[in-house]
Chains A and B, each alone.
Chain A
Amino acid sequence: MSQAENAAIVRRGRRSIRIRHGLPEVIITVFLLSLALVIILPMIIPFMFVFKTQMEYNYHPWALPKALNWINFREAWKAVRIDQGLMNTVLVSFGAIATTVPPAALAGYIFARYRSKATEIAFYAILIGYFVPAQMVLVPLYKMEVAFRIKDTLVGLFLPMAAFGIPFWVLIYRSFFATLPQELSEAARIDGAGHTFTFFKVMLPLANPATALALLLVFIGAWSDYLLSLILLSSSKNFTMQLRVTSFLYAYGPDRMPKYAAAAVIAMLPTVILYIIGHKYIIQGTVAGAVKE
């Protein structure tokens, strides 16, 4: 059967379904759209206030702003030193990527392609890490960082992040490398390539989708971290965005709404933009576990 015929049948099939569902489909679609509005509205409402002065907000909170007034952004920016926060957070995120992804890719490759009793045992040892909640190790982690003098440093923040992230990404890389055809690496080996060469020049480039996903999600995870930053960072110059956002939350609160909304917008935008760019990858990667039984 030709592809065109197939498509025609699919189209016909769809149309018949649509006619049969008619009204229920309309009702449910409207219902789903209004639920989506519930998700989106709280993120959009701040934008209504960010350009207003406090006076304007007090008298006409729901009217359109009279002019695009950027002062709230400037003041929120200054109040919590957002520039410093962005810098720290970006450094932590890149540090987390650099220390999470390579070890995970290397180990995942071994577990997918060099299966033996010994590597199987090693794999289970990694798997344990996947089930240990970060909360469990906070006290020794803190003591250790004090002893190594890396507490209250950005390095001391992203190293444990990497350790908590590696097990998950080992799982992802392992299942990804396992799906690549065995013949590829065998052909390279027959061509005289060593193990290392085969990995770096043949297999790793093929794992680009997994790597892209890892870059994106490790970045978002490091960007969003709160608990580890709260415990391991103590001087305000090292504070990440999330710590600054919360300190802003405590200092101002919604009674100074326009400024508060401006801070929320600044803190929200990077994640939202990344999500808009990569939502297909993010959703795919997140449900990667759902399809296996």
Chain B
Amino acid sequence: MSDRGSGGQAAAIAGPSHIRDTAKIPFIIIFLLPAFVFLAVFLYYPIAETFRISTTKSTGIGQELYVGLGNYLSLIQNEEFLAGLWHVFMWAFWSILIQLPIAFLIAFSLTFYVNKFTKPLRSIFYLSNVLPTAIVAMIGRFMFAPKTGIIASISKALGWKWLGAIDFMGNPDMAFWTLFAIATWMYTGFPIIFLMARIEQIPKEVREAAELDGATGWRYAFSIVLPQLSYPFRIIMVLMTTGSLKLFDLPYILLTGGPGNATVTLGITLYRDGFINWNYGRAAAIGVVIFVLSLGLTIAQFSLGNKKEAK
């Protein structure tokens, strides 16, 4: 083996190594083929189809009728769709405003105070993130259900009538925030571990120098660590925004978008239009809206960040 190896090396030095690379092109094609077959069938073709169907009136049976922008026009007059759009933006807004700062404070504290109690916490904070949404909905219902839920039964045991009187899921003004609290419980682990990975990359010397300069604790967190996090912050903001646009499982399983339209999202309107009312055309139009918004907002958030950095 070693003999052949050195002989081969000599040959390689003697002549250019791409001599026998006639096999290269078919090899590349064969290796890329499986991935592209999957994407072509289940992604590229359906994407094109979605655009086409969104301009038709179609129920799956019978003829499709070309209606141009008719579906989109009907959407902007549709109360449920507008409610979904509003909730999706509120969801993204509050995620960025509430979950992101919480995540930063936890991530910073976990990396700043490393001791035997805080070390295992990173894994614990991320645990709720890997639970299936159906389980989280189950746990959520189990906590917040009126009369029989854990919170209701704790408030009964403690005699706290005010707490027992709150209708967490039936009150339309409350339902959004109950969902948001459950989502915060479920999803904040991701920004925590994401930010921690970046904070841990800051060299130890930086912290030592900061302490010599008297920048300890919160001063260190806000004036030295925070500015280093603009890239992960941008990624997380993009993920929170696109995640809100796609939001479906949690509000649907827990409250099916209700009470009324109180927790309807774009994902839920798409599902209802497409697979309950069998209005394919309008469901496809909602799909296009979700796609265009997530693409547009992703590009916007990245280019805004870049401009700021260029200054």
Query: Could you tell me which A residues sit within 8 Å of B by CB distance?
Result: 13, 17-18, 20-21, 24-25, 28-29, 31-33, 35-36, 38-40, 42-43, 45-46, 61-62, 99, 102-104, 106-107, 109-110, 114, 119, 122, 125-126, 129, 131-144, 146, 159-160, 162-164, 166-167, 170, 186-187, 189-192, 194-196, 199, 220, 223-224, 226-227, 230-231, 241-243, 245-246, 249, 253-255, 257, 260-261, 263-264, 267-268, 271-272, 274-275, 279-280, 282-283, 286-287, 289-291, 293
B121: chain A residues at CB < 8 Å are 32-33, 36
Cβ of B115 < 8 Å from any Cβ of A? yes
**Which single residue of chain A is at the shortest CB-CB distance from B242?**
A133
Give min CB distance, B199 to chain A, whole Å.
Answer: 10
Residues of A within 8 A of B49 (CB): 137, 139-140, 143
- When the two chains form their complex, are residues A190 and B8 in contact, meaning their CB atoms are under 8 A apart? yes
Contact of B4 among A160, A189, A192 (CB under 8 A): A192
Q: How far is the CB of A158 from chain B (nearest CB, A)?
A: 11
B45: which A residues are within 8 A, CB to CB?
140, 144
Instruction: Kindly supply a per-residue 1/0 record for chain B positions 198-225, scoring 1 wherever the CB is within 8 Å of any chain A CB and 0 otherwise.
Output: 1001000000100100001100000000
Binding site for A on B (CB under 8 A): 1, 4-5, 8-9, 11-12, 17, 23-24, 27-28, 31-32, 34-36, 38-39, 41-43, 45-47, 49-50, 53, 60, 106, 109-110, 113, 115, 117-118, 121-128, 130-135, 137-139, 141-143, 145, 147-150, 153, 157, 185, 189-190, 193-198, 201, 208, 211, 216-217, 231-232, 235, 242, 245-246, 248-249, 253, 266-267, 270-271, 274-275, 280, 283-284, 286-288, 290-291, 294-295, 298
Q: Are B43 and A290 in contact (CB under 8 A)?
A: no
From the candidates B34, B115, B126, B208, name the one contacting A279 in the complex (CB within 8 A).
B126
A40, B39: Cβ atoms under 8 Å? Answer: no
Asked if residues A138 and B34 are in contact (CB atoms below 8 Å), the reply is: no
Nearest-neighbour CB distance to chain B for A33, whole angstroms, equals 6
Whether B283 lies near A242 (C-beta < 8 A) is: no
Give complex CA distance A99, B37 in Å.
Answer: 11
Q: What separation, in Å, do the CA atoms of A96 and B223 have in the docked complex?
A: 45
The 8 Å CB contact of B60, one of A20, A62, A143, is A143
Q: When the two chains form the complex, which single residue of B110, B139, B157, B190 contacts A286, counting CB atoms closer than 8 Å?
A: B190
Decide: A191 and B5 in contact? CB cutoff 8 A. Answer: yes
Report how far A99 CA is from B132 CA in the complex, Å. 21
Contacts of A137 in B (CB 8 A): 42-43, 46-47, 49-50, 287
Residue of A nearest to B10 (CB): A190
- For the complex, what is the distance from the CA of A25 to the CA of B112, rounded to whole Å? 9
Instruction: Sort A-B residue pairs by CB-CB distance and give the 6 closest, nearest first.
Output: A163-B42, A140-B49, A137-B46, A224-B132, A103-B34, A140-B46
Q: Among B124, B232, B253, B287, point to the contact of A290 (Cβ < 8 A).
A: B232
Taking the nearest CB of chain B, how far is it from the CB of A57, in angstroms? 10
B39: which of A129, A260, A282 is its contact (CB, 8 Å)? Answer: A129
Inter-chain contact count A-B, CB under 8 Å? 294
5 A–B contacts from the bound complex (CB under 8 Å): A29-B118, A31-B109, A36-B124, A43-B139, A267-B135
Residues on the B chain within 8 Å of A132, using CB? 43, 47, 291
- Choose one: B157, B190, B193, B294; the contact of A62 (CB below 8 Å): B157
A125 to chain B minimum Cβ distance, whole angstroms, is 8
Determine whether the beta carbon of A140 is less than 8 Å from that of B53: yes
Q: Are B157 and A33 in contact, CB atoms less than 8 angstroms apart?
A: no
Q: A131-B294, A195-B27, A287-B193 are in contact. Are A103 and B38 (CB under 8 A)?
A: yes
Q: How far is the CA of A18 from the CA of B253 in the complex (A)?
A: 47
Instruction: Find out whether the CB atom of B39 lies under 8 angstroms from the CB atom of A139.
Output: no
Inter-subunit contact A139/B28 (CB<8 Å): no
